Chain A
């Protein structure tokens, strides 16, 4: 009887959904659609809210600034709002389909109206999705950073549910997942190695970015391919009206950005670049016969062209390189040189097309390449011995996404994606003039990763919102095919106008893996595909929570709990390392050597996250707290027993505050102060506690004892906790309006109270003693920095 009732309810719901999708024959409906843009620059605004207060309904602009509302014929008052912009109200008598682009003024132009704008912006309690955090780009620029290098990923580390890898490291660990389990997308292009300088800085130059969004759970069906998170970044298009620029000089690097119209109002460009000069500064201090140095640079570029109001083209790209090099000239005829190089290249061609006022489509053709190489060359009397080892991954992606908004109750997204992967887990080139050899051994694996998806954001009555979705993923590699359905569901129930209860479920699969046995995110970490032996990593996650907006006080609170399980999680076997993945071995044995070095296991992560966030006003920032547990189990690690993940962190707290003391005017300087404080339980590591005589049996010499037989006795895996990590950063920005530009001096201090946070431990000796003790290396004590920036 109960089952019958449930079936009837399901049937009723289906009929309701069908009816709500079908046009009502008795009332004519029309659509108002267009783009929401910044007045002046014409920059498209993503996620802007457009509301019809009388109907208590509305929508938001999509990732390309497009909106569409289909309503019965009639006269409506609309209210459009977006963080940092003046709200705009207008009325339209909707008697036919209307194309209407909405221009919003930046809030700083009319400050007194900002307060009302803040109150009208999209509320957290009104959004169906959960576990999503959007960081305003201005906050990223205002938060103090190590050596003044503003870093998107380091700001994400300050959010609840996100752990950092180690001191200064930009790697992110979301809800117990590893750094390879984050899908990092820049203008639709997957970025495989998102770091410079061995993880100390991320690739992403905040100047060129328009939006950053982190999704930790409740993944919509349009995202897939990674288990733990999606970090989606979109670059600015470039100012369509006039030439604008920014430049900055810091201790570590300098940067500039230039944007402007190509054809006024129709087409624009943006170019942004950054380079470090540590190598140039140290060069005068090195002897003439020896050279060594390190630098990185990156370049972002984007151009767009509006063919007509229904068609837009965007071309964007990223190019970045890290280079560590050395060379020694021993004699006139003898030179040794070597180094490490790595970098990403991405390129995206996007075509936005509006089929009808209700149907918007984006097609993307994407190229992404990551390559690492290690080289060594010796020249003696003109005879060269050169060795080059390299690894990498190259993707060609074609994707098509459709955004269909039949009425105010549905936002339907469907799409398909094809990715051609080309993995080179290891390759080696050897040139030996003396031996007369010139050999290249390359181990290349090709794979297809494809997916189709559909999702619908549904409003059911005034209180309930639902986002069901389904993604089918397919991976094909060397004759092996994997087909995996991935159901997704998010829902929100509005208890009060400013309070909602949310829940979500997501199943994820990951077909490309990063194998690493280090904690520091070296570029030597290898990207490898799933194969018939290396199964896809899978996970499922449930989350529940509440979202409350404190409208009068301008802040929002979210409290979430989650439980996540993963299987086929990949790790290096004990003792295996990057150096075991010699392609020459692969050529001898005919197998992928990396596959022999990895093992599969399971993971469990659960916890609670609290975020109190204030995005607007003179004082902005957030308080984040995470309580979490993450455990792993591998048959071949820790004797098959469960162990804490290295980044299992029981408590993680972050406080972020930015206070605008005053705006700059012609007569006085603008002043902004900012500060952060973070605390985290120490990383879980394995520590040697004793040593003993552990002989290797010699079958040919049973009585011999030639080997060095000492081995360490350890705590069980990751049983020891490093000291807790905490740190305070502080920054002051002083802005002055000059004749042609606004100049900003920024002084910041990283680790204000000079906390000696351990980067790693090793066994050393007590001072003035031969007694052994635990020593720690601290990377960054108090680090002040100064930078100079202009904006015109």
Chain B
């Protein structure tokens, strides 16, 4: 279906390609901005902060190269007055502190501050208090085609924590039960939820999965339920809907809570369920 429409769009572009030229309008100029990302969680082994610079589009010949900035002073602090400088880890290509060195605790507020050159960046997040588990995750095989394609259906539900504003991400990765450690890092399902209007209720999600691998053996899944802060939710809600620039569609503007630059400092609690089919 999409390809038919694309053929039409291509047809139009070819028909009118003779009329393309450099725009005569003055383009907006911008300076490179520092970019900071950090996803904090009590469930992760450590805390990582990445720092890069944005690249202005107009007049630039750089495309998709964002070298990490390794010479900044990055500090992680909490609302109890504790703070620690984060060293740069070449292995992680990020500023990194193990949880044994600086604990990330539920309900606490953390601030990350980075300084380099003339830039000072700051982002703050409050770790969600509770980890919300799935109440149920069900996977079932719906049908299989004679050519070997198999169709599966996964559904899951969980109970929202009442009286608290909650945000969720459901993320799925598939793997073969024969090689359980070899999971696919590309998500096969990803959705963001807010409990607006559903406070304290049962929330649910559904996915269809087609297995074209013909390799035998049923697919299995790791299903992650993340209870996130608002910054994680706002950022990923837009980021997961971002597919690049299309002149015919309204663009998706990315969210940032970093003062002095772009990016996000946010947090989550993670629970995991495994579906073995």
Interface residues of A (CB under 8 A from B): 198, 292, 324, 326, 338-340, 374-376, 387, 389, 434-436, 517-520, 524, 572-577, 579, 584, 588-589, 637-639, 682, 686-708, 710-717, 720-723, 756, 758-764, 766-767, 769-781
Contacts and interface: CB of A to CB of B under 8 A. Distances in A.
Contact of B241 (A519, A574, A760): A574
Contacts of A764: 20, 22
Given A338-B4, A713-B30, A773-B58, 16 more contacts: A573-B241, A575-B243, A577-B249, A688-B251, A690-B33, A690-B56, A690-B57, A691-B54, A694-B239, A695-B37, A696-B236, A723-B24, A767-B22, A776-B23, A778-B20, A778-B21
Given A691-B55, A694-B239, A698-B187, A770 B61 contact: yes
8 contacts: A574-B241, A579-B1, A707-B186, A756-B24, A769-B61, A772-B58, A777-B13, A778-B16
Interface size class on chain B is 35 or more
Contact of A579 (B2, B13, B45, B239): B2
A773 B33 contact: no
Contacts of B44: 702
Contacts of A693: 35, 37, 50, 52, 66
Interface stretch (B113-121, B122-130, B252-260): B252-260
Nearest to B249: A517
A697 B11 CA distance: 37
B21 A689 contact: no
Given A703-B48, A723-B25, A771 B250 contact: no
A637 B242 CA distance: 14
A694 B263 contact: yes
B8 A340 contact: yes
B5 A524 contact: yes
B21 to A, nearest CB: 6
A692 B147 CA distance: 43
Nearest to A780: B19
A374 B22 contact: no
A717 B253 contact: yes
Nearest to A292: B11
Interface string B23-67: 111011110110101010000110010101111111111011010
B245 interface: yes
A715 B25 CA distance: 15
Nearest to A590: B206
A588 B206 contact: yes
A713 B258 CA distance: 14
B66 A692 contact: yes
B5 to A, nearest CB: 7
Nearest to B41: A702
Nearest to A432: B145
A517 B250 contact: yes
A577 B244 CA distance: 13
A699 B252 contact: no
B222 interface: yes
Contact of A775 (B23, B185, B222, B241): B23
Contact of B245 (A198, A723, A759, A763): A763
A378 B220 CA distance: 33
Contacts of A705: 93
A769 B59 CA distance: 10
B213 interface: no
A774 B58 contact: yes
B7 interface: yes
A574 B252 contact: yes
B230 interface: no
Nearest to A578: B5
Contacts of B249: 517-518, 577
Which has the most chain A C-beta neighbours within 10 Å: B55, B92, B206, B224?
A: B55
Interface in B154-191: 169, 171, 173, 183, 185-187
Contacts of B232: 697
Given A518-B248, A639-B253, A712-B245, A756 B21 contact: yes
Nearest to B262: A692
B263 A575 contact: no
Given A638-B253, A698-B187, A699-B169, A389 B1 contact: yes
Which has the most chain B C-beta neighbours within 10 Å: A524, A575, A694, A775?
A: A694
B239 A715 contact: no
B3 interface: yes
A435 B146 contact: yes
A770 B57 CA distance: 12
Contacts of B16: 759, 777-779
Given A690-B55, A701-B185, A772-B58, A761 B250 contact: no
B254 A774 contact: no
Given A691-B55, A691-B64, A712-B245, A374 B4 contact: yes
Contacts of B140: none
B226 interface: yes
A762 B13 CA distance: 12
Given A692-B33, A711-B239, A771 B59 contact: yes
B108 interface: no
A778 B21 CA distance: 8
B138 interface: no
Contacts of B7: 326, 338
A374 B5 CA distance: 8
Nearest to A428: B1
B238 interface: yes
Contacts of B202: none
B10 to A, nearest CB: 11
B66 A689 contact: no
Contacts of A773: 22-23, 27, 58-59
Interface in B126-158: 145-147, 153
A713 B254 contact: yes
A762 B245 contact: yes
Nearest to B51: A693
Given A575-B242, A773-B58, A775-B20, A686 B251 contact: yes
B98 interface: no
A643 to B, nearest CB: 10
B247 interface: yes
Given A699-B171, A775-B22, A692 B54 contact: yes
Contacts of A686: 250-251, 253
Given A574-B252, A714-B253, A689 B58 contact: yes
A572 B249 CA distance: 10
Given A519-B248, A775-B20, A713 B33 contact: yes
B229 to A, nearest CB: 12
B236 A697 contact: yes
Contacts of A700: 171, 173, 183, 185, 222, 224
A699 B226 contact: yes
Given A574-B252, A694-B239, A340 B58 contact: no
Contacts of A639: 253, 255
B231 to A, nearest CB: 12
Which has the most chain A C-beta neighbours within 10 Å: B22, B33, B222, B250?
A: B250
Contacts of B224: 699-700
A418 B35 CA distance: 58
A271 to B, nearest CB: 32
Give me the 4 closest cross-chain CB pairs, A-B, nearest first: A575-B241, A692-B54, A693-B66, A699-B224
B58 to A, nearest CB: 6
B59 A760 contact: no
B240 interface: yes
A570 B15 CA distance: 33
B28 A376 contact: no
Contacts of A637: 250
Contacts of B171: 698-700
Nearest to A710: B64
B252 A575 contact: yes
B156 to A, nearest CB: 13
A277 B202 CA distance: 58
Contacts of A374: 1, 4-5
Interface in B55-100: 55-61, 63-64, 66, 92-93
